[in-house]
């Protein structure tokens, strides 16, 4: 049967309506339950799976990530595709990397089946060659968006940052406690090695707090959406980046002890007390200072002095 122009237009409208309904529905707990039952899906504890079921939170994530029709988005852990649908509606293209092979049929055959601007990759994000994925899109960089399992939050974020991957920004859902540590400043109880690592690579911004009832199953703690805008130029330029982070980690390994003791006792550094004290004096700092009182700039300078010594 020959399709008339009106038939084509109606089909387009129906398809658009289908997409809109999918996006609206998957933010509904009932729709999530229906999908899980349809595919007889069981949550995998080893993957730390907690699926979002709140449309308002989904909208907040997309807004925080500042997704536009020019962007290519890399989503880590799409789950059943709830957030992925929103990303597809707002971005030029979305690449969704999912480690759980049991979720792939749900994404390919159901929740993302009607989208032509998404690629589903069954892989471990830490083993994925992002440059190869990006090359297919013709874009220069990704915007990363993710609802990260708590147990792997820091390894994923730091793994992507340390690779110097082609990333413009990262907007991630993490445990609230971790989000507070990411944006903490010197002297605060949350300030530590993670705070300094994030400050070195990006500018953090806490976009939203998210209560446990926004997930299925419910986690035992609160969550938060944090946006990391990567620096075009890093704020410090240490002589040896790897050594600077060894010094930072050593300084917080024994948080209640002085920085000098931390550097001496750490297996990564084992720097003699007199060397550390000499470096601190050269910086005009007290020999009994603790790591939590030093800024990123201080640590860069300290690591350079210790290398010279």
Which DSSP state fits 212? Answer: G
Binning pLDDT at 50, 70 and 90, where does residue 25 land? low
Which DSSP state fits 272? Answer: -
Give tens-digit pLDDT for 196-207: 999 999 999 999
At 106, which helix (H) or strand (E)?
helix 104-106
Binning pLDDT at 50, 70 and 90, where does residue 17 land? very low
- Are 153 and 177 a contacting pair, CB within 8 Å? no
Binning pLDDT at 50, 70 and 90, where does residue 295 land? very high
Residue 14 reports pLDDT greater than 70: no
Based on the number of CB atoms within 10 Å of its own CB, is 13 exposed (0-12), middle (13-18) or buried (19 or more)?
exposed
- State residue 9's pLDDT score: 52
Residue 6 reports pLDDT greater than 80: no
- State residue 240's pLDDT score: 97
What span, in angstroms and rounded, lies between the C-alpha atoms of 89 and 87?
A: 5
- State residue 254's pLDDT score: 81
Q: What is the pTM of this model?
A: 0.87
Binning pLDDT at 50, 70 and 90, where does residue 10 land? very low
Give tens-digit pLDDT for 76-102: 999 999 999 999 999 999 999 999 999
Higher confidence at residue 48 or residue 307?
307
Residue 307 reports pLDDT greater than 60: yes
DSSP E strands in the chain: the ranges are 51-52, 72-76, 93-98, 118-122, 142-147, 167-175, 202-210, 215-216, 223-230
- State residue 282's pLDDT score: 97
Nearest to 116 by CA among 92, 139, 138, 136: 92
Could you give the domains of the chain?
16-230 (3.40.50.150), 241-308 (1.10.8.100)
Binning pLDDT at 50, 70 and 90, where does residue 165 land? confident
What span, in angstroms and rounded, lies between the C-alpha atoms of 174 and 168?
A: 19
Residue 121 reports pLDDT greater than 80: yes
- State residue 150's pLDDT score: 87
The whole-number average pLDDT for the span 279-296 is 96
Which DSSP state fits 120? Answer: E
Residues in the chain: 309
What residues are paired with 94 via a beta bridge?
Answer: 73, 118
Measured over the CA atoms of residue 169, residue 67, residue 95 and residue 136, the dihedral's sign is negative
Give tens-digit pLDDT for 124-142: 999 999 999 999 999 999 9
Nearest to 165 by CA among 117, 125, 123, 120: 125
């Amino acid at each position: 049967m020959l399709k008339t122009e009106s038939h084509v237009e109606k089909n387009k409208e129906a398809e658009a309506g289908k997409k809109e309904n999918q996006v609206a529905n998957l933010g509904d707990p009932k729709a999530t339950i229906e999908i899980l039952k349809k595919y007889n899906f069981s949550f995998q504890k080893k993957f730390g799976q907690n699926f979002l079921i709140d449309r308002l939170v989904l909208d907040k994530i997309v807004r925080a990530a500042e997704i536009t029709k020019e962007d290519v988005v890399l989503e880590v852990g799409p789950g059943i595709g709830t957030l992925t649908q929103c990303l597809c509606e707002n971005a030029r293209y979305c690449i969704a990397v999912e480690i759980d092979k049991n979720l792939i049929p749900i994404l390919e055959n159901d929740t993302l089946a009607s989208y032509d601007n998404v690629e589903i990759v069954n892989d471990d994000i830490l083993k994925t060659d992002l440059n190869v994925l990006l090359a297919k899109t013709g874009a220069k960089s990704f915007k990363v968006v993710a609802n990260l399992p708590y147990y792997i939050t820091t390894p994923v974020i730091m793994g992507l940052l340390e690779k110097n991957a082609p990333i413009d920004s990262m907007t991630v859902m993490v445990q609230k406690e971790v989000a507070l540590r990411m944006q903490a400043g010197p002297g605060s109880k949350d300030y530590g090695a993670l705070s300094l690592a994030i400050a070195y690579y990006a500018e953090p911004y806490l976009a939203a707090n998210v209560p446990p009832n926004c997930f299925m199953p419910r986690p035992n703690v609160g969550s938060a959406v944090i946006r990391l805008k990567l620096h075009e130029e890093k704020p410090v330029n240490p002589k040896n980046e790897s050594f600077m982070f060894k010094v930072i980690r050593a300084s917080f390994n024994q948080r209640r002890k002085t920085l000098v003791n931390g550097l001496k006792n750490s297996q990564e550094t084992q720097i003699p007390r007199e060397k550390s004290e000499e470096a601190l004096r050269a910086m005009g700092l007290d020999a009994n200072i603790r790591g939590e009182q030093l800024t990123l700039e201080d640590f860069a300078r300290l690591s350079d002095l210790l290398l010279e010594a």
